[in-house]
């Protein structure tokens, strides 16, 4: 370990002429020492590559979460449009014969299926947002909401925290608060993917006060037009709410 300490000091501090000469002499005359230098640098290389692979995996998770809907190759688009037409026809056919669920039921079904737990990164770092997501996933929604709100207080422009604060408020049926967070999220117009309008519609559908459903329909229409996040679900709901 003494040699490793010495090797590390050499590479991390700026060695003087005498130290450089001594270090290089040892490399030339002591094969075991040279092996240790090579080992130290090899591990550094492998550790660096591992760190980069981990980052790439993390980026992949973010990318998959945000689903780049427009990245479908054009040649496949024809098949998807045809499939969508068939699905639309089927949904329409079913609508004729089967009474569709109410907007509130649709919203609750979505919430149960998609918002009971939220994705956390595998990095294991101590990012407060990751900690709050862990608390949320443990079912402590109220506690998680307070944590998200604290994060936003510390950094008022942190849009991801606003999204999660809105979701937690929605789960707690604090609809007015959820709407405030999603409206705040909606002001970030330059994001390549922003689910604010969809979540606003979801909240309004679940709250179901006078005028809420009409507003939710407008928002869903915008999601479909803008090719926004959860476009397919927005389209399906619009059909069911006609």
Q: Is 239 in the site for another protein (CB under 8 A)?
A: no
Q: For another protein, give the closer residue by CB, 10 or 237.
A: 10
CB of 147 vs another protein, minimal distance in Å: 15
Largest CA distance in the chain: 90
Return the structure tokens found at 15: 């060695």
Residues of span 133-162 touching another protein by CB under 8 A: 155, 157-159
Residues of span 183-222 touching another protein by CB under 8 A: 188-192
Q: Is 179 in the site for another protein (CB under 8 A)?
A: no
Candidates 89-97, 121-129, 139-147, 220-228; binding stretch for another protein (CB under 8 A) = 121-129
Q: Is 16 in the site for another protein (CB under 8 A)?
A: no
Q: For another protein, give the closer residue by CB, 61 or 111.
A: 61
Cα distance from N-terminal residue to C-terminal residue, the chain: 73
The residue within the footprint of another protein, chosen from 17, 70, 98, 113 (CB under 8 A), is 70
Q: Is 68 in the site for another protein (CB under 8 A)?
A: yes
Q: Is 125 in the site for another protein (CB under 8 A)?
A: yes
Residues near another protein (CB under 8 A), total: 59
Q: Do the Cβ atoms of 195 and 230 come closer than 8 Å? A: yes
Q: Is 59 in the site for another protein (CB under 8 A)?
A: yes
Q: Is 92 in the site for another protein (CB under 8 A)?
A: no
DSSP the chain: -HHHHHHHHHHHS---HHHHHHHHHHHHH-HHHHHHHHHHHHHHHHHHHHHHHHHHHHHHHHHHHH--GGGS-HHHHHHHHHHHHHHHHHHHHHHHHSPPPPHHHHHHHHHHHHSSS----SS----HHHHHHHHHHTT-HHHHHHHHHHHHHH-TT-HHHHHHHHHHHHHTT-HHHHHHHHHHHHT-TT-S---HHHHHHHHHHHH--TTHHHHHHHHHHHHHHTT-TTHHHHHHHHHHT-
The residue within the footprint of another protein, chosen from 16, 18, 112, 126 (CB under 8 A), is 126
Q: Is 38 in the site for another protein (CB under 8 A)?
A: yes
CB of 28 vs another protein, minimal distance in Å: 6
Judged by the rule CB under 8 A, the positions of this chain that interact with another protein are 1, 4-5, 8, 10-11, 15, 20, 23-24, 27-28, 34-35, 37-56, 58-60, 62-63, 66, 68, 70-71, 73-74, 123-127, 155, 157-159, 188-192
């Amino acid at each position: 370990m003494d040699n490793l300490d010495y090797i590390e000091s050499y590479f991390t501090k700026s060695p003087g002429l005498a130290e450089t000469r001594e270090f290089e002499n040892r490399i030339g005359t002591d094969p075991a020492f040279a092996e240790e230098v090579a080992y130290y640098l090899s591990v550094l290389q492998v550790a660096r590559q591992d760190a980069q692979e981990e980052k790439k995996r993390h980026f992949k998770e973010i990318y998959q979460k945000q689903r780049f809907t427009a990245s479908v190759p054009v040649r496949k688009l024809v098949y998807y449009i045809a499939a969508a037409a068939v699905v639309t026809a089927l949904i329409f056919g079913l609508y004729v014969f089967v009474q569709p669920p109410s907007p509130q039921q649709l919203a609750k079904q979505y919430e149960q299926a998609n918002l009971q737990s939220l994705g956390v990164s595998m990095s294991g770092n101590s990012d407060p947002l990751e900690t709050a997501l862990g608390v949320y996933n443990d079912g402590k929604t109220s506690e998680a909401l307070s944590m998200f709100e604290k994060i936003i207080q510390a950094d008022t422009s942190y849009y991801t925290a606003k999204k999660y604060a809105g979701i937690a408020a929605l789960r707690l049926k604090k609809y007015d608060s959820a709407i405030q967070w999603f409206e705040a999220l909606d002001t970030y117009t330059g994001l390549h993917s922003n689910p604010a309008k969809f979540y606003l519609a979801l909240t309004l559908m679940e709250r179901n006060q006078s005028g809420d459903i009409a507003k939710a329909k407008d928002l869903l229409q915008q999601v479909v037009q803008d090719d926004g996040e959860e476009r397919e679900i927005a389209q399906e709901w619009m059909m069911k709410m006609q």
